[in-house]
Structure formats: structure tokens, C-alpha cells
Amino acid sequence: MESTRQKKIASLLQRDLAEIFRANAASDFPGTLVSVSKVRVSPDLGLCRVYLSVFPTDRSESVMAFCEDQAPKLRAALAQKVRNQLRIIPALHYHLDDSMEYEANIDRLLREGGENPIK
């Protein structure tokens, strides 16, 4: 269970990371929408898992590769934004959030009128 402190830090990091991605989206990955869907912080506040949602989904691998390659620069940009709120910036690990794709697949299956298992 997340503590109140973890939730506050996760919210702060999510907001600032989303702003960083929004500011650099046009130059780093044009024509791609990248949103920070969720941020989870470890209890010791040393590790941060960042879940990214990418549209269109076929560009998700290139965005994830960019995040892994540019991880130190992204962490430094985040440190500049939160330097007055946090003393230590957690290590950032990026994960692809495919929940929107999963939801769209379920919606497509239901709309196609296949066999309804709920009757």
C-alpha cells in the first residue's frame, strides 16, 4: 500500500514528466502523442516506475528506445523542475502502458458481434 508521501511524490513527478515530454515532443518524436499515464514510487523513494502511453501504438518501440537512451537527460530535466521539492531524484524506469490498446481491442471484439459470453 502506498503511503501519502509516495502518492504526493508520484503526482509531482507525473505532472513534471508530462510537461517535459510535452515540451520536447515536437522535436524528439513528431506526430506522436506521448502521455505519462501513471507513476509509481518505491517505498524508499529511490526508484520510480513511469508508465507511458503512446499514440499511434506502432511508434511505441521508438519512444521507449528514446527514453532508455536519454534517461540521464530526462532525469536531469526532471531534477531541474523538482529541485526545491525533492533532495534526491529517484531512478526512472520506463514502461509501456498498453491499457488503452487492450481496452480498444476489447471494444472492437464486442462491436464485431462475436459470441457474447455474458448471457
Along the 119 residues of the chain, how does pLDDT read in single tens digits? 889 999 999 999 999 999 999 998 888 888 888 999 999 999 999 999 999 999 888 888 999 999 999 999 999 999 999 999 999 999 999 999 888 778 888 888 888 876 666 66
- In contact, 46 and 88? CB cutoff 8 Å: yes
Task: Kindly list the structural domains of the chain, giving each domain's residue range(s) and its CATH number in brackets, ordered by start.
Answer: 4-111 (3.30.300.20)
Helix (H) or strand (E) holding 113: none
pTM: 0.83
- In contact, 41 and 48? CB cutoff 8 Å: yes
Angle at 86 between CA 85 and CA 87, to 5 degrees: 130
- In the three-class reduction of DSSP (H, G, I as helix; E, B as strand; rest coil), residue 108 is classed as helix
Query: Positive or negative, the Cα torsion across 39, 14, 36, 28?
Result: negative
CB neighbour class for 96 (10 Å; exposed up to 12, middle 13-18, buried from 19): middle
